[in-house]
Amino acid sequence: MTATAGSSGTRRPTMSDVAREANVSRSLVSLVLQHPEKVGDKRKRAVHDAMRRLGYRPNAAARQLASQRTDTFGVLVSDLHNPFYTEVIDGILEAAEDFRHQVLIASGERDPSKEKAAAEAFAELRAEGVILITPTMSTEDIEAIALAVPTVIVGRPGPRPVGTGRVLTDDERGVRVALDHLLALGHREIGFVAAGENPGARAREDAFLAAMTGVGLADRAHIASAAPNQEGGYAAGREMLTAARRPTAILASNDLAALGVLGAAADLNLRWPTDLSVVGYDNTILAQLQPIALTSVNQPRRLMGRTATTLLRDLTRGGEPSSVTLDPELVVRSTTGPASPSPSP
């Protein structure tokens, strides 16, 4: 039997040692390690028994170099502080584990130049594919990345960059179901927190204006721009709620901004849902926490992550780029109720 690396002075067993121990060829050992489904159970068992007796551990880096595969996906997020992204990553990790892939994660901090640098680093590290979650970089930069490595985008509406796969939810539908809920409760003065300049935020703002126009309430739509976080939502909420004609309901473009609106309302001694109804977007874990219990438009975040990973795996195997649009739905909780009879501050 070949000596193992368990004690001083002995060397690590090699693939050739395993082949001799199992009385098979070295190429068969390699096939067992890389494509076990192509080897019969008897010979596969012989190889694994030999590996166990020798204490052999496959060299992952060597296998990757030999096969020109790294079994690694890169994932770029815009903001790790927003639980939407981490919940999408949960779905990516689940699917990647099913596919026996590792995942590298980087944050672009909503900075296009940082996003571009991180995506280029993934390519240099020989990631087999890249998932970009709501990227803020230009379409041209995304297309350049897709030329270098298979790329799938999550949550960026508008024209799909050439060569990319994409997963998103129907924002027009999501905004509309939220407005339908508020209209059914009697609200007519309705505000919208447009959190950020990224394509997703703009798409939701456009959907809000179109929906309000469609029901003849364009002149009663209140819009305030804000950073896509709790502080931005607070500032936007305070701006709308201290106006001469304030809304009785506010839809925010994400849950963090919605929490900021609730904070502004509390500081102005407004109660929800008695004085003000608030709807978030994404239905992250924040929306589900008590005692707030935020009404929110649900994006199926884990499913988005799993779907993106499946599309990426297909791309790395020579498949064609494709797009999947998922339906959102409204989850009603405690922050929405009938319209206040008096919208005056």
- The structural domains of the chain, with segments of one domain joined by +, span 15-67, 72-170+301-328, 171-299
Distance CA 301, CA 85 (A): 8
Fold classification of 72-170+301-328 is Rossmann fold (3.40.50)
Residues of the chain with pLDDT under 70: 1-10, 34, 58-69, 199, 341-345
pLDDT of 320 reads 92
The confidence score (pLDDT) of residue 5 equals 39
Which parts of the chain are beta strand (E)? 72-77, 102-107, 129-133, 151-154, 165-169, 190-195, 221-226, 249-252, 277-282, 295-298, 323-326, 329-331
The model's pTM: 0.77
Query: Considering only CA atoms, which of 209, 221, 212, 224 is closest in space to residue 180?
Result: 212
How confident is the model at residue 184, as a pLDDT?
Answer: 97
Domains 15-67 and 72-170+301-328 share a fold: no
pLDDT for residue 60 = 52
The answer to whether the CB of 291 falls within 8 A of the CB of 259 is: no
At residue 33, the pLDDT reads 77
Architecture of domain 15-67: Orthogonal Bundle (1.10)
| Dihedrals phi, psi of 246, to nearest 5 degrees | -95, 155
Q: Check: CB of residue 78 under 8 Å from CB of residue 36.
A: no
171-299 folds as Rossmann fold (3.40.50)
